[in-house]
Amino acid sequence: MAGFARKYTPQDIRLLAAMDERHDAPCGPAVKKLCERAYEVFGQAEYAALASISVSHLYNLRKSNSYTRQRHHFEKTRSKPSSIGEHRKPRPDGKPGYIRINTVHQGDLDKRKGVYHINSIDEVTQFEVVCTVEKISERYLIPALEQLLENFPFQVLGFHSDNGSECINKTGAKLLEKLRIEFTKSRSRQTNDNALAESTNGAVVRKLFGHTHIPQHWAPLINNFNQQYLHPYINFHRPCFFSETLTDHTGKQRKVYRYENMMTPYDKLKSLPNAKDYLKPDSSFEILDRVTHQISDNTAVDQLQKTRRKLFETIHGWTLKTG
Bigger pLDDT: 247 or 81? Answer: 247
Q: What is the pLDDT of residue 88?
A: 63
Domain-located, residue 156: yes
Q: Say yes or no: 94 and 224 in one domain.
A: yes
CA-to-CA distance for 132 and 113, rounded, in angstroms?
A: 13
Q: What is the pLDDT of residues 42-93, one digit of tens each?
A: 999 999 999 999 988 888 888 776 675 432 333 344 444 444 446 666 677 8
Q: Say yes or no: 25 and 146 in one domain.
A: no
Average pLDDT estimate for 169-179: 64
Nearest to 308 by CA among 193, 246, 226: 226
Domain-located, residue 172: yes
Phi then psi for 128, rounded to 5 degrees? -130, 140
Q: Say yes or no: 311 and 162 in one domain.
A: yes
Q: What is the pLDDT of residue 252?
A: 86
Domain-located, residue 152: yes
CA distances for 21 relative to 11, 18, 42, 129, 219, angstroms: 15, 5, 19, 23, 26
CATH number at 90 reads 3.30.420.10
Average pLDDT estimate for 2-17: 71
Q: Say yes or no: 20 and 131 in one domain.
A: no
Q: Say yes or no: 180 and 42 in one domain.
A: no
Nearest to 127 by CA among 314, 320, 267: 267
Q: Say yes or no: 197 and 121 in one domain.
A: yes
Average pLDDT estimate for 209-223: 92
CA-to-CA distance for 237 and 208, rounded, in angstroms?
A: 16
Domain-located, residue 260: no
Domain-located, residue 33: yes
Q: Say yes or no: 223 and 139 in one domain.
A: yes
Q: Say yes or no: 182 and 316 in one domain.
A: yes
Domain-located, residue 312: yes
Domain-located, residue 256: no
If you count them, how many residues does the chain have? 323
CA-to-CA distance for 52 and 33, rounded, in angstroms?
A: 10
Domain count for the chain, please give it. 2
Asked whether 160 and 185 are in contact (CB, 8 A), the reply is yes
Q: Say yes or no: 46 and 111 in one domain.
A: no
Q: What is the pLDDT of residue 169?
A: 58
Q: What is the pLDDT of residues 101-146, one digit of tens each?
A: 888 888 888 878 899 999 999 999 999 999 999 988 778 888 888 8
Residues 248-284 as b or e (16 or more Cβ within 10 Å = b)? eeeeeeeeeeeeeebbbbbbbbbebeeeeebbeeeee
Q: What is the pLDDT of residue 215?
A: 92
Helix 28-40 to helix 10-22 angle (10° resolution) is: 110
Q: Spell out where 123-195 has E strands.
A: 128-133, 158-161, 182-185
Phi then psi for 108, rounded to 5 degrees? -105, 155
Average pLDDT estimate for 19-38: 88
With a CB cutoff of 8 Å and minimum separation 6, the contacts of 303 are 229, 233, 295
Q: Say yes or no: 104 and 217 in one domain.
A: yes
Q: Say yes or no: 54 and 113 in one domain.
A: no
Domain-located, residue 243: no
Q: Say yes or no: 53 and 93 in one domain.
A: no
Asked whether 294 and 220 are in contact (CB, 8 A), the reply is no
Bridge partner residues of 99 (DSSP) = 122, 159
Q: Is the pLDDT of residue 256 over 50?
A: yes
Choose the weakest-confidence range: 36-50, 78-92, 197-211, 304-318: 78-92
**Range of the structural domain that residue 162 is part of:** 86-238+297-322
Give SS3 for 272.
Answer: coil
